[in-house]
Amino acid sequence: MGLELPRPLRVLTPADLTTADPTSGMQRRLAFELPLLWSGQVETAPGLTSGWHHHDRNESSLYVVRGVLRLEFEGHEGYLDAVAGDYVHVPSYTVHRESNPGREPSLAVIARVGGGVPTVNVDEPPPPHGP
C-alpha cells in the first residue's frame, strides 16, 4: 500500500507555462502558483528595458540561465549585471527594472515567496540624491 500525498509531484514542461504578470519590455511565464510561492521564468530580448516594478511582499530569487540580466533599483545609481550561473535576490517592495544589454535573449528562472501580489508596475522613481 503506497502513501498518498496531499499534492502529487508534478513535472511542468515549457509548453505548460503560461504568460503572466505583464511588465513592458519582458515576458514572464508562470509555471505554478501556490498561496506562498510563485514559480516561473522571465525572458528579455536584447536591447530591451522593462518598466519599473516591485513584487509586493514577495522575496524573489532569480537564477540566470542564459544571457545578461541588468538590474537597476531605486536609491542606487548605476546598475548590477548578472550572467548565466548567477543568482539574484530581490528583496520585497524593492522598486527595480531589468534590461538586457547582451546580443541574445536573457532567460532567468524565478521563485517568489511571500504570498503578495506577484508584480506591481509603478512609475519611474526619482533619481538618487547625491552626497
What pLDDT score does 9 carry? 86
Cell numbers placing 100? 538586457
What pLDDT score does 131 carry? 58
What pLDDT score does 35 carry? 93
What pLDDT score does 31 carry? 96
What pLDDT score does 125 carry? 93
62 CB burial (10 A radius; 0-12, 13-18, 19+) = buried
Buried b (16+ CB within 10 A) or exposed e, 99-120: bbbbeeebbbebebbbebebbb
Sorted by where each starts, the structural domains of the chain and their CATH numbers stand as 19-121 (2.60.120.10)
What pLDDT score does 6 carry? 67
- Say whether 3 sits in a helix, a strand or coil: coil
Would the pTM count as exceeding 0.75?
Answer: yes
Q: Is the Cβ–Cβ distance between 28 and 112 less than 8 Å?
A: no
Splitting the chain (131 residues) into consecutive groups of 10 residues, what average pLDDT does each group show? 68 95 94 95 96 97 98 95 98 97 97 95 86 58
Contacts with 88 (C-beta within 8 Å, 6 or more apart), sequence order = 60, 61, 62, 63, 64, 69, 71, 82, 108
Rounded CA-CA distance 42/10 in Å is: 21
